[in-house]
Amino acid sequence: MSVKVEVSEGGVPHDRIMAIGIVGSLVAIYLTYLNVLTGTQIFSFFGGIGAVFAIWWGTDSIKTLCSYGIGTGVPSAGMISLGSGVIAMLLATKLGVAAPIGLVIIAAVLGVILGFLSDKVLNMNIPVMIRQLTELTIVGALILLGFASMATGSFAFIDMITGTTTFFGIEVATYSASLIGGSIIAVIFMLGGIAIQHPFNACLGPNESQDRTQMCAAECGFLSMIAVAVMSFAFLSVSAAMLGLLVAFIGWIYTYNEYIKLSKRDAYDWLDAKPIREPKGGA
Amino acid sequence: MSALGGAAAGGEGINPTASVIGIVILLVALGITFFIASTGGAIALIGIIIGGALIGFGVHFVPVGGAPAAMGQAPGIATGVAMLAAGAGLAGLFGGAWAAELGFAVALGAGAVGGGLMMAITCMMVNVIYVFGMGIPSASGKVDKDPITGDTFPEYKSQGTEGHGLPFISYVGGVIGGTLGGLGGTLIYVELLAVYEAALPVIYNAPLEEILPVAVSLAGIFAVGMFLVNAVLTAYNITGTIEGPHDPKFKRFPRAIIASAVASAVCGMVAIMVVAL
């Protein structure tokens, strides 16, 4: 039996963050379906927004889990989140238009089993273990589906394994120039993993405050989204990919500035260090 | 090592009820796979379960020091279980994936050698940094005598530490752990690749050469995902640091094997369902 070490005073309750995260993420991922309805690719960037919502929620889940001494460091929670999430996500993409909802159900079943194994079979005996591992599996799957749908403009499996390549000026359909066939999914996997394991690992400590940690999570999410937007140039039209890049960039600059402000607020003192200048006139 | 300095959880012994429930889940997953993907899928799933159990067992050998090791206050490699297992296992997995075309046994051998080699190099460089960079001798805090070389430790162990550096027994443990992890990861990959190579051309009505990148990538990302799940579950079992096969925590491995086998069965079932449904 472990002792609960630390939890932020005040702030938004975890249940509300979870509700905002899951609804926001699902709505944003479903908005990419407008691509199919309207026949454009311009709505792809909503997938990235959905992934940012999921990262934002997952950071608070990691905080709730790691406030008990799990003994393995914060990044391990991010790794199991993405590791189990990718398995649930790839099966869910086979479900067509029901993919995001199906993903939540598949990931929840997988997460409950993994949580049960850690809590009961491995004798961790942490009260929140089953719930948080379930949440983290859903989060990992939502991040991957969000980024994947941002890169390809669709959350259907068939669109993730087919792509087009130009061969002597003629467009040819090919399996290797696709999200899965080109192993872009592995890059998305790591981008999501870094984004989810970093924020609490960076902000934890006696001076941890919830709004700063959550802002760091949003910042990391948008930073990963920039990289996904760059990769989406390979699959989307230039204007759609450009819009995604723009949204990600604006989001990142805004959250980064806010994060710096919150860090200054929480710091005891702040010195704007300047680069060392050479003395004028030479020595 | 706990991120927040809290007491590490994790009691000794096996929880019999939970273990039986876990094994029932494993059998149900096997049954469902047999039902949807017939005998071929079930045999592949058995391979995946063995691979997962090998990873879970292998990670226990790896000397994980965590943050205290980085400060020279505990023996082992100075990072967490999940990172270390991922590094060694994925190196093995890539080795095995490269050799996948050369046959089952060659692929498994390449995976095992790749993982073991990765850990051997890591352990050696860790000791070079400990001995020549930080100026600390290798001494275990858990045993008085190295079980292999017979070197004694207490006179070299600094006061107030749990030992430091990387003793020979930990080095050997690291290489064994990397070998088992690479073997397990490659086994998962090879089994999944065979399933996808058989199923994808039929589903999408395409020649195997064209759809091979999708099969390789799918098997690879599933193997990476399952590897991380098994490594983190084992990390939860170890709860932080372990010195190697001589550590008392090593005796906890049976329950990690149960947990890894069940987790691999469920994840493997989902991975096979991607092409079977």
Per-residue pLDDT, A9: 55
Task: Find the residue in A nearest to B15 (Cα).
Answer: A121
Please give the residue that has the higher pLDDT: either B261 or B97. B261
What are the φ/ψ torsions at residue A166 (nearest 5 degrees)?
A: -95, 125
Q: Which of A109-118, B76-85, B158-167, B229-238 has the lowest mean pLDDT?
A: B76-85
For all residues of chain B together, what is the average pLDDT? 86
* The pLDDT of residue B263 is above 90: yes
Whether B86 contacts chain A with CB within 8 A: yes
Predicted pLDDT at B11: 58
Of A6, A79, A94, nearest to B82 by CB-CB distance is: A79
Model pLDDT, residue A150: 92
Of A139-153, B80-94, B230-244, which one has max mean pLDDT?
Answer: A139-153
Cβ separation A5–B8 shorter than 8 A? no
Helix B16-59 and helix B81-98, axial crossing angle in degrees, nearest 10: 60
What pLDDT is recorded for position A137? 95
Residues A24, A50: contact at Cβ < 8 Å?
yes
pLDDT, tens digit, for every residue of B20-57? 899 999 999 999 999 888 888 899 999 999 999 999 99
User: Which of A62, A63, A70 is best to mutate for the B interface (most B CBs within 10 A)?
Assistant: A70
In eight-state DSSP terms, residue A205 is: S
Position B71 confidence tier, pLDDT thresholds 50, 70, 90: confident
The pLDDT score that the predictor gives to residue A244 is 93
CB contact under 8 A, A71 and B213: no
Facing residue for B262 by CB, picked from A66, A117, A124: A117
- Comparing CB atoms, the residue among B11, B210, B258 nearest residue A121 is B258
CB contacts, 8 Å: B83 with chain A: 75
B97 touches chain A (CB under 8 A): no
Give the one of B18, B224, B228 whose C-beta lies nearest to A121's C-beta.
Answer: B18
Phi, psi of B77 (to 5 degrees): -85, 140
- At position B214, the amino acid (one-letter code) is V
Rounded to an integer, the average pLDDT of B251-275 is: 91
pTM: 0.89
Name beta bridge partners: A35: none
Does B270 lie at the interface with A, CB-CB under 8 angstroms? yes
Closest CB to A125 among B9, B83, B228? B9
Q: Quote the pLDDT of residue A216.
A: 94
Q: How many CA atoms lie within 13 A of B230 on its CB side?
A: 41
pLDDT band of B128, cuts 50, 70, 90: very high
Whole-complex ipTM: 0.88
Q: Which residues of B168-203 are buried (b: 16+ CB within 10 A; e: fewer)?
A: bbbbbbbbbbbbbbbbbbbbbbbbbbbbbbebbbee
Spans in chain A with pLDDT lower than 70: 1-10, 165-167, 169, 281-283
pLDDT, position A7: 52
Mean pLDDT of B205-230: 89
pLDDT bracket for residue B141 (50, 70, 90): confident
Type and span of the H or E element at A103: helix A99-116
pLDDT of residue A127: 85
Phi, psi of B6 (to 5 degrees): -80, 165
Contact pairs from chain A to chain B, CB under 8 Å: 206
Residues of B in contact with A88 (CB under 8 A): 270
Interface check for B250 against chain A (CB to CB < 8 A): the answer is no
